[in-house]
Amino acid sequence: MSEQSGGSPVNPFLDSNIPILPEDATPEEKDLHWYTHVYQGDKMPQLTVRAVLVGALIGMLTSVSNLYTTMKLGWAFGVAITACVLSYVLWNALRALTGGHLSQMSILENNCMASTASAAGYSTGSTIATCFGAMMLLDPEHRHQPWVIVASFTLLTGAMGVFLAIPMKRQMINQERLPFPSGIAAATTLKSLYSEGVEAVRKAYALIAGLAFGVVIGILNTGEGTLHFLDRFFDWFKTNLFPIRLPEQVPADGFMLVEKKPLVGFGFEPSVLLIAAGMIVGLPVSLAMLASSGLIYFVLTPMLAGIDAQHAGDTSWVTSIPLIGNGTLYHPPRWGLWGGTAIMVFASLTSLALQWKTISRSFTMLRRGETAANDAEVQRKMNAIEVPTTWLIAGIIPIAIGMVVIQALAFSIHWWAGIIAVGLSFVLSLVACRATGETDTTPIGAMGKVMQLTFALLMPKQVIPNLVSAGIAANSASSSADLLTDLKSGYLLGANPRKQFIAQFIGIFFGTLAVVPAWYLMIPDVEALEKYPLPATRTWEAVAKVLSQGIDSLPVSARYAALIGAFIGIALPIISKNLPASARKFVPSAMGLGLGGVVFFSNALSFTIGAIIAFTWGKLSKKTEETYNVPIASGLIAGESMIKAVIAMSATGIQLYEKAAK
C-alpha cells in the first residue's frame, strides 16, 4: 500500500480506480492528487456531536479495558479496528431500536467515532498502571499519588501526543505515504462495512459474539468473595441446578509444590482473555514465553528455593525466591523479572540501534518542514483542511509548561530536567512514529528505557524522576503513534484532517475522565495492585530500582540472571538481523522470552493454548482463520477485560459505601 523505490509505482489508496502518480511526483502534485481524487470531507458529515459522543463512550469503556489488560498482560491493545466495528454495530442497533428514525452515519462520521474512541481508549492510560503503579510499589508506605496529579499527568501527556502528531502527519502520511498497516486495516474494515459486504458484516457479528462470550466468562471466573451478590447467585445455581462458577486455577494448588509450598500462578487459569491474546500474538512469541516461564517454574525455582531454605536464619543472605501470603506461597516471577527485564530492555535497545536508518529518516522531516508548495492554489486548499502549525505552537507551549510545572511541584524534578524530559519526548515520539509507520510496531518499551537511562545520568539514584520521565516519553510516544495510525485511516477515506484532529483532542478528555477514577477504584491499595501479574509495571519498577540503588541490591542469583538476560537480549536481534529470511522464524522471540520471566506460568500456558488454536485453525481453514481469528479474539479480550474492570470497580465502590455507612 506504500510507494516503493523500485519497480512500478503502487496505488496507495483503497480505490483501485484512482489514477497512479509517478514515483517522482512533487509534494504539491501529491497533495493535489489526494485533494482531487480522495478527499470527501466537504461532501458528507464528519465531526458531528453524535459521532463524538458515541466514540467517547466506546473510548471510555476501552480505556478501562486497556487499564486492566496492562496490569494483567503488560500491554494495551489497539482500539482502531475494534472501535470501527463497535461504533458501526452500536449505531445501527440504536437505529433499529428507534425504528429507523435516526439517520445512517456517514463513513467519515464512523471514522470520526473511531478517532475519538482511539484517543480516549488507548492514548490516555498507558502509563497509569506502569508509571504510577511502579511508584506505588516502590513507595515505602505504598501510597497513591493524589488524583489531581494523576489526572493532570494523564491529560497532558496524552494531549502532547496529539499535538506532536501535527508536524509528522503531512510528512509521514501525505508525502512519504508510510503504510501504518493498522490504519490501512481500519480504513479497509470501514470501507467493507459500508459496502455491506457479507464477509464484513460477519466479522462485525463475530467480534460482538466474542465480546458477549468474554463478558460471560469474566463473570463466571470471578473469585469468591469479590461481590456478595455474585456469590449468592452462584450458590443458588449450585443448589438448584448445577455449579457454574469457574475455578480461579486448575489444579487449585498448582502443578507441583516446592518445599511443601505452592507456587503462585502455577496452573491453568480459565480465562478467554489470555487465550485470545495468544491467538493474536501467535505461536513464536507464545512458545518462547512458555519455555522461559517453564524453565523458571520447573527448574530454577525448586533449585533456588532449596538454596534459600539452607540459609534460613542467615540474616546476611539475600533470598532469591520471595515468599508472599504470610510465607505460604512462592512467587517465582519476582526473581524471574530480573532476567526477563534484561532481555526485553536490551533487545529493545539493540533492535532500535539496528534500525539506525529508520531513526535517521525520522529527522529528515525536521529539515524539510511543511510542504514547499509553489502552487498557491494547492497550498490554499490544503491549508484550509490541514491542522495549521499555529495550532501546534498554541497547544504545545502551554502543555510543555504544564508538564514542567507538574514535574517540579509534584515530583521535585528540577525545571531544567523537566524541560529536557519534554524535549527528549518529542525526539523519541518522532522515532516511535516512524517505526509504527514502517513496521506497525511502536517501540514504547525502548522509548521509556532510553528516558530512564538518560535520567539515571541526569538525576542519579532518584527513583521518582526516573519513572516520571519515562512515563512522559512512553505516553506521548504511544499517543502520537496511535493517532497517526488513525490519521492514516482518515487520509485513505478522504477525511478532513483538521476535524479528525479535533475529534482526537476531545477524546483525550473523555479517556482521562474514565481511566483516572477507574485506576483508584480498581486499585484501592497496594494489596489490590499486587493481585495482578503486572509484567510491565514490574519491569519499570525493576529498571528504576537497579538504576537508583545499584546492582548490589539484588540477590547474587538475580545478578547472574540479569547478566545472562542482557547477553540474550543483545544477541537475538543481531542473529535475526544477519540470518536469511527463511531461517529467522527459528530464532526465539526475545520479547516472548523476556515476558516469560515476568508473567505467571498460567499466563504463558494460556497464551500458548490460544496460539495453538489459531495455528491449527489456520492449517485446517486458512481463509476462515484469516477472516475471523482477530475479530473473535479482539471481542473476547474486550469483553472479559471490560467486565473484570467493572467488577473490580464495583467491589471497591461497595466497600467504600459500606465503610461510610458504618
* Cβ atoms of residues 157 and 429 within 8 Å: no
Kindly state the DSSP code that residue 145 receives in the 8-state scheme: P
pLDDT band for position 615 (cuts 50, 70, 90)? very high
**Predicted pLDDT at 3:** 39
3-state secondary structure 4-73: CCCCCCCCCCCCCCCCCCCCCCCHHHHHHHHHHHCCCCCCCCCCCHHHHHHHHHHHHHHHHHHHHHHHHH
**Predicted pLDDT at 438:** 65
pLDDT band for position 18 (cuts 50, 70, 90)? confident
Q: Which residues contact 384 (CB under 8 A, 6 or more apart)?
A: none
Q: Which helix (H) or strand (E) holds 401?
A: helix 389-411
**Predicted pLDDT at 440:** 57
Mean per-residue pLDDT for 542-569? Answer: 82
Whether 568 has a pLDDT exceeding 90, the answer reads yes
**Predicted pLDDT at 449:** 67
**Predicted pLDDT at 8:** 41
Closest of 455, 466, 512 to residue 126, by C-alpha? 512
Predicted confidence (pLDDT) per residue in 137-166, tens digit: 888 888 888 999 999 988 998 888 888 887
What CA–CA distance (Å, rounded) separates 411 from 427?
23
In one letter, which amino acid is 434?
A: R
Closest of 194, 171, 160 to residue 491, by C-alpha? 171
In this structure, what C-alpha cell is assigned to residue 54?
Answer: 458515541
Closest of 25, 112, 41, 43 to residue 384, by C-alpha? 41
Output the DSSP codes for 579-641: S-HHHHTTSPPHHHHHHHHHS-HHHHHHHHHHHHHHHHHHHH-HHHHHHHHHHHHHHHHHHHH
| CB neighbour burial string for 168-190, b if at least 16 within 10 angstroms, e if fewer | bbbbbbbbbbbbbbbbbbbbbbb
Closest of 622, 611, 121, 156 to residue 410, by C-alpha? 156
Give CA separation, 326 vs 137, 255, 309, 322, 554, in Å: 18, 21, 16, 11, 22
Decide which of 224 and 508 is more confident: 508
**Predicted pLDDT at 211:** 85
**Predicted pLDDT at 302:** 93
Decide which of 570 and 545 is more confident: 570
**First vs last Cα of the chain: how many Å apart?**
63
**Predicted pLDDT at 605:** 94
Closest of 60, 108, 29, 162 to residue 494, by C-alpha? 108
Percentage of the residues of the chain whose pLDDT score is greater than 70:
87
Whether 375 has a pLDDT exceeding 60, the answer reads no
pLDDT band for position 299 (cuts 50, 70, 90)? very high
- CA–chain centroid gap for 497, Å, is 24
* Cβ atoms of residues 88 and 191 within 8 Å: no
Mean per-residue pLDDT for 231-244? Answer: 87
Least confident piece of the model among 119-133, 213-227, 344-358? 344-358
pLDDT band for position 293 (cuts 50, 70, 90)? very high
Closest of 203, 123, 208, 128 to residue 485, by C-alpha? 123
Task: Give the chain's mean pLDDT.
Answer: 81
Closest of 571, 522, 418 to residue 132, by C-alpha? 522
Place of cell 506502569: 130
Mean per-residue pLDDT for 288-305? Answer: 93
Closest of 509, 529, 505 to residue 519, by C-alpha? 529
Predicted confidence (pLDDT) per residue in 508-531, tens digit: 999 999 999 989 988 888 888 888
**Predicted pLDDT at 371:** 42
Mean per-residue pLDDT for 52-79? Answer: 80
* Cβ atoms of residues 78 and 485 within 8 Å: yes
Decide which of 124 and 290 is more confident: 290
Decide which of 427 and 625 is more confident: 625
pLDDT band for position 78 (cuts 50, 70, 90)? low
In this structure, what C-alpha cell is assigned to residue 4?
Answer: 516503493
**Predicted pLDDT at 15:** 64
SS3 label, residue 372: coil
**Predicted pLDDT at 373:** 41
pLDDT band for position 366 (cuts 50, 70, 90)? very low
Cis? peptide before 9, omega within 30° of 0: no
**Predicted pLDDT at 576:** 86
What CA–CA distance (Å, rounded) separates 300 from 322?
13
Predicted confidence (pLDDT) per residue in 465-504, tens digit: 888 887 887 778 778 887 888 888 888 888 898 898 899 8
Whether 330 has a pLDDT exceeding 70, the answer reads yes
**Predicted pLDDT at 442:** 64
In this structure, what C-alpha cell is assigned to residue 412?
Answer: 521535585
What CA–CA distance (Å, rounded) separates 265 from 275?
15
What CA–CA distance (Å, rounded) separates 151 from 120?
13
**Predicted pLDDT at 370:** 44
Phi, psi dihedral angles at 330 (to 5 degrees)? -85, 145
**Predicted pLDDT at 1:** 35
What is the length of the chain?
Answer: 662
What CA–CA distance (Å, rounded) separates 37 from 243?
61
Q: Which residues contact 424 (CB under 8 A, 6 or more apart)?
A: 450, 451, 454, 469, 473
Whether 634 has a pLDDT exceeding 70, the answer reads yes
* Cβ atoms of residues 534 and 67 within 8 Å: no
* Cβ atoms of residues 483 and 500 within 8 Å: no
Percentage of the residues of the chain whose pLDDT score is greater than 90:
12
* Cβ atoms of residues 76 and 66 within 8 Å: yes
In one letter, which amino acid is 263?
A: L
